[in-house]
Amino acid sequence: MQIIITGGGGFLGQKLAHALLHSSLSFSELLLVDIQEPQALADPRVRCLQADLTAPGVAESLISKHTAIVYHLAAIVSSHAEQDFDLGWRVNLDTTRSLLEACRQARPGIRFVFTSSLAVYGGPLPEVVDDGTALTPTSSYGAQKAMGELLVNDYSRKGYVDGLALRLPTICVRPGKPNRAASSFVSSIIREPLQGEQTTCPVSPALRLWLSSPATVVNNFLLAATLPRGDGRSINLPGISVTVGEMLDALTKAGGQAARDKVSFAHDPAIERIVASWPGQIDNSRALASGFMADWTFAGIIDSFMTHDLQEAS
């Protein structure tokens, strides 16, 4: 049995790989695929492959009759997809279709876990969003993820794959350096101050966000491998609702006033427009009933970062 992680060299892909290797799932190969060769892991079941998923024939070469689970994490992030229209569509939509079609041809019924996003929502939203709220993306990235969900649902309806589309909360706190995601500041305003570095926040303190820690998202990925087939293929993963101001209050308690003083505000209307279009509060009831997890508090998210990832972030 083979498990594939696209985007396997990235932050989440690496954490998921480690979690799978220590899980109760039985498999003979874990294939990590990325545009840059993924970091090798000390386990004979792991194989790393540098590959461009947008190149003709690559998706077809990955999937075989031995493939049981595909975690499709590879993507161009929000601001990058907005700035490079053609690349965003090639990576975020065309690659998804190629992988689904490869699964269909190799062995119908492969569990296909697609990482979607809150960016599928936009514009005027109800105060609390649920899985049935209409998708109204206001960015190219959001449109690409929404179309990816539709593909996963249709291929699943036809029995070509056994798909799930997981709408991830904004993940905080990510170790490492800032990336080109519109939400990159969410981690930066915690990570950098705790390392003694200055950072800027491009949005209002009143902006409400829907967040999850990396560890909780990875645990939810593990559940998605074996979740029984249900009626709805698209699921809003659980998170917690917190404003930027509340995040900074928690930073002050964790790192002191010196850490809080490292954060200044420099409003960026483009960033705020994108992030403010995403829901800040979601009804978790369906996901929680299915066994997915949520963090308890934002203070707990900071504590987890300081305990497990702060050294890696340096």
**Could you tell me how far CA 109 lies from the centroid of its own chain?**
23
CB burial string 5-26: b at 16+ within 10 A, e below = bbbbbbbbbbbbbeebeeeebe
Q: 105 CB contacts (<8 Å, ≥6 apart)? A: 60, 63
Query: Starting at the edge strand that comes first in sequence, how are the strands of the sheet with 110-117 ordered?
Result: 46-50, 29-34, 2-6, 67-72, 110-117, 161-168, 234-236
CA distance 148 to 155: 11
| Catalytic pick among 71, 121, 141, 160 | 141
Q: 255 CB contacts (<8 Å, ≥6 apart)? A: 193, 194
Q: Can 141 be counted among the known catalytic residues?
A: yes
Residues assigned a catalytic role: 141
